[in-house]
Amino acid sequence: MKIKTESSARKTQLLCGFIVEKYDKILGIGKIDSKTDLVISQAIKDNEGKLGRINVIPTPSKSTQRILLAGLGSKESITNDTIRFVSGKIAQKAKELKLKEFTIISPPNFVSDPVSSVTQIVEGCKMSLYKFDKFKSEKDQDSPDLTIVISKSKKILSAIKNAEITADGTIFTKSIANLPPNECTPSTLANFAKTISNSKMKCTIFSKSELKKRGFGGISAVGQGSKNEPKLIVLDYKNARNEKPIVLVGKAVTFDTGGISLKPGDKMDEMKFDKCGGCTVLGIMKAISELKLPINLVGIIPSVENMPGGESYRPGDIIKLYNGKTVEILNTDAEGRLILADALAYGEKHYSPKAIIDFATLTGACIVALGTNVAAIISNNENLTKKITNSSKRTTEEVWELPLNQDYMDMIKSDVADMKNVGIGRAAGTITAAAFLKNAVEKTPWAHVDIAGVAWTQTATKEKPYNPKGATGFGVRLILDYLQNL
């Protein structure tokens, strides 16, 4: 999709305007001709401005073949996500009509400020036109080009460029996360990291032998049961002098059988999405290098395949993590926290960061607690949590804070090692997993984001045009907003 701006509507196959409830006109579209105006007037009554409702009207005009009316709902209910949501529906309609291009008139200021409007239009359109068809014999048709009618300025043009990079980063994340396990091993993921490295962003890959030699006991143990060797992927982006970096860590289990503690067969195919945390970090790093943000940022992705086999780690094993702490293994399906703990400890020791944020499809308990539309955030730093939560409100990638006190830390104490890798029964499963991770971070401000419910579309996931079936890319827009608003 190519995107351009115009200060007034030009010749187009589809002219799209927004409607708000109780307003009897298309926002931004003036009179066209008497016959067309009558048809539009009736279409507005039919549409009523209801959120997401679409009406397409043929016109006799030589400059505009069709006019599309898109409802935004009531003025009071419009949020940061509304225009993104409705723009996605418009883009999908334009594609359904097999058009080569379409034009959207940006809504006036009383609906949304211009920078926010173009950001939401671009993100909504680009992400809604994404489809994972890599393994389809018949590929998806080319996406139509978009023209946005809005007063041009440096701010507007910059916002469009940023929105395109953000959307592309999210799509990059989705395209990798959607890959099946036979097409995406830890080595494959490492190769994706290499493709986005550049002069400002160095890529380092630790092999199986290096991981064992350097003391990455968690990654080594989880990965030893698979013929696909584990990897630790490190992307180091430097674009600011003498500034401590922010470290992002993403869990990337390219497929999770549960290991010896084998998962039930039902929906095990969805465990290809257990790599989504790592894919999120890849998408963020790609976008940051393209935005050329003047910061230092490190992305660390521990990647394994958790398989049962003759060399698999077992319930009852005791392993030593990178930070020297010992862990009693009670369930090999609680593997994500083991590889994350190694990566967190490595990130803190080698980079002395000013903050660490990790993303992981860590616990099914998170889905029980918060459902499939909100991620959990657990942190040791109130200020960091507040900043991420503010970004969550702007991007509509929702997070909800859960507590973490000493009582939860006590729940993972072991009689025979420093820790055990599961808590007490099913109680507070999301929090006890975070308590385990907290042992890997000594003093750095840290936030853990459990994306088990939001990383891919599930039965109860709210339908959004920009989140078609499959991986959602959750966290890319959230953290890019956080980093740009530091």
Residue 28: pLDDT band by 50, 70, 90 thresholds?
Answer: low
CA 33 to chain centre: 45
Window from 22-36, 159-173, 189-203 with minimum mean pLDDT? 22-36
User: Rounded to an integer, what distance in angstroms lies between the CA atom of residue 84 and that of residue 53?
Assistant: 14
Spatial contact of 329 and 417, defined as CB atoms under 8 Å apart: no
CA 124 to chain centre: 14
Structure token pair of residue 303: 């990647």
Name the residues annotated as catalytic: 263, 337
SS3 label, residue 235: strand
Residue 32: pLDDT band by 50, 70, 90 thresholds?
Answer: low
Angle between helices 382-395 and 476-484 (to 10 degrees): 120
Residue 309: pLDDT band by 50, 70, 90 thresholds?
Answer: very high
Mean pLDDT within 179-187: 98
Q: Which of 148, 137, 309, 115 is nearest to 228 (CA)?
A: 309
Structure token pair of residue 365: 């308990």
Domains contained in the chain, CATH given: 3-147 (3.40.220.10), 172-484 (3.40.630.10)
Distances (CA, A) of 377 to 85, 297, 298, 465: 25, 20, 20, 25
pLDDT at 139: 84
Span 428-486, pLDDT tens digits? 999 999 999 999 999 999 999 999 999 999 999 999 999 999 999 999 999 999 999 99
Mean pLDDT within 391-406: 97
Spatial contact of 92 and 52, defined as CB atoms under 8 Å apart: no
Window from 27-41, 103-117, 222-236 with minimum mean pLDDT? 27-41
Q: Which phi and psi (to 5°) does residue 256 adopt?
A: -125, 100
pLDDT at 43: 84
User: Rounded to an integer, what distance in angstroms lies between the CA atom of residue 464 and that of residue 43?
Assistant: 24
SS3 label, residue 244: coil
pLDDT greater than 90 at residue 108: no
Residue type for position 307: M
pTM for this prediction = 0.96
pLDDT greater than 80 at residue 397: yes
Q: Which phi and psi (to 5°) does residue 237 adopt?
A: -100, 120
Mean pLDDT within 297-322: 98
Q: What percent of the chain has pLDDT over 70?
A: 98
Distances (CA, A) of 466 to 93, 167, 288: 13, 10, 21
